[in-house]
Structure 1
Amino acid sequence: MRLLIAEDDAMNRDMIARRMRWEGFAITLANDGAEALHLARTEMPDLILLDMGLPKQNGWEVARQLKSDDATRHIPIIALTAYVLPEDRIKGLASGCDAYELKPIDFERLIQRIHDLTSDPAAP
């Protein structure tokens, strides 16, 4: 399974990427919102882990654009963020994110979310 990780903090990006690779995922990395949009459209990942506080275009705008595009609307998006207020979660889900996970990341929970969002309910 191919994941796009959009995270501007190099240490967080590296930590998330290493853990996801260890779990067997193929990883593409984006440093900002513009790069995340470009890579989502060209790489067509199976799922996107999206920091909401990205530079150039924030995660809310990236999610809105991807979900409004017929070519990318099917890609599940998990918001990864330090924005903890209930209204932030509402804003994230309203922008098109399929799930909203807080930092620091609970990796067991995140991995379960990834599998939940990418499993085929029609599969035996």
Structure 2
Amino acid sequence: MNRTVLLIEDNAQNRYLVTFLLERSGYRVITAVDGPEGIRKALELLPDLILLDIQLPAMDGYAVARALRAIPALQQTPIVAVTSYAMVGDREKSLGAGCNGYIEKPINPDTFVAEIGRFDPGPATDRGAT
């Protein structure tokens, strides 16, 4: 069975690249373009993993992470910030808002799936070959 990843990302090119990389590796990817949509989809789908941009319209990623963590059914779901916010303290701010991990943009297509795999609680056999 495919693992489900919710990608909350407003940039179409970033959504395309991440979706391509993950689907090629056997993940099922659902996307949302802003925080409120991401929260709604997370509640509906209860994904295995959430990838969260920090710079989003309507609601920043920090607020989204805090909102997701306030939902009992999502408290154990790994959330990984995937963001261009790479200044001193940004990683800590993401982790403090409830993210389990932090990956800087631009992502490296050669290592991205392995990087997020560290946060995926499912067995590696659930993922297809790369």
Superposed pair shares fold, TM > 0.5: yes
Identical counterparts, % of pairs: 36
Deviations 1:5-63 (A, max 9, x none): 11101111111111111111001010001100000111111001100001111110010
Partners of 2:89 and 2:69 in 1: how far apart? 20
**Which residues in structure 2 correspond to 1:3-14 (within 5 Å)?**
3-14=5-16
Deviations 1:86-112 (A, max 9, x none): 211111000000000000102444322
The two structures, once aligned, show a CA RMSD in angstroms of: 1.5
| Residue 71 of structure 1, CA deviation | 1.3
Kindly provide the amino acid, as one letter, of the partner of residue 93 in structure 1.
L
**Which residues in structure 2 correspond to 1:1-124 (within 5 Å)?**
1-119=3-121
Where relative contact order (Cα < 8 A, 6+ residues apart) is larger, the structure is 2
For structure 2, list consecutive stretches of 5 or more residues without a partner in the other structure.
124-130
Partners of 1:91 and 1:23 in 2: how far apart? 30
TM-score (norm 1): 0.90
| Residue 114 of structure 1, CA deviation | 2.6
Partners of 2:69 and 2:15 in 1: how far apart? 23
Aligned residue pairs, count: 121
Q: Which secondary structure does the structure 2 equivalent of 1:74 belong to? A: coil
